[in-house]
Structure 1
Amino acid sequence: MSRLYGDPIDVWTHDGLPVRFVWRDRLHTVRRVLDHWVVAREWWKISDSDPGERRFWRVEADPGDRVGTYELRFDTAAEGWLLIRAWD
């Protein structure tokens, strides 16, 4: 079962891939990237200052006690990360 969150998170990357993130005051270490995709905004919302991309990663990560699956999103316009979804 998955749950939707949309919580802001801090993410560390290496070569463009997420390797660690902090969610709810816990450090999660990414063990494996399961999927990656990019969604462009609608063409009428794109401007020179807003490339309009949202980059998603589905990862397996370990907060120290068990491995879970998480969906992370990076918004290029806001330059911020969100934890979108977590699976039990």
Structure 2
Amino acid sequence: MSRLYGDPIEVWTREGRPVQFVWRDRLHAVRRVVDHWVVSREWWKTSDSDPGERRFWRVEADPGSRIGTYELRFDTAGEGWLLMRAWD
């Protein structure tokens, strides 16, 4: 079962891929990227200088106790990361 969050998170990347993130004061080490996709924002919500992409990553990560699955989103317009969803 998954749960929706939309919580801001801090993410470290290597070559554009998330390698670890902090959520709820816990460091999560990314063990595997399960999926990655890009969604372009609607053309009327973008500007010439910013295409407004949202990049999604579904990852398996270890917060120190057990591996879980998480969906992370990077918004190029705001340059911020969110934890969108987590699976039990």
TM-score by length of structure 2 reads 0.97
Deviation at 1:45, TM superposition (A): 1.4
Task: Measure how far apart 1:60 and its partner are.
Answer: 0.1
1:75 deviates by: 0.2
My pick for the range that moved more, 48-57 or 22-31, is 48-57
| SS in structure 2 at match of 1:78 | coil
Q: What pairs up with 1:9-88 in 2 under 5 angstroms?
A: 9-88=9-88
Partner SS, residue 32 of structure 1: strand
Secondary structure of the equivalent of 2:32?
Answer: strand
Q: Secondary structure at the match of 2:50?
A: coil
How many correspondences in the alignment? Answer: 88
In the alignment, structure 1 segments of 5+ residues that lack a partner are none
The list of structure 1 runs, each at least 4 consecutive aligned residues, that deviate by more than 6 angstroms after superposition, is none
Deviation at 1:50, TM superposition (A): 2.5
In the superposition, the TM-score normalised over structure 1's length comes to 0.97
Which residue type is aligned with residue 54 of structure 2? R
Partner Cα distance (1:78, 1:64) in 2? 30
RMSD of aligned C-alpha atoms?
Answer: 0.6
Q: In 2, distance between residues paired with 1:25 and 1:71?
A: 17
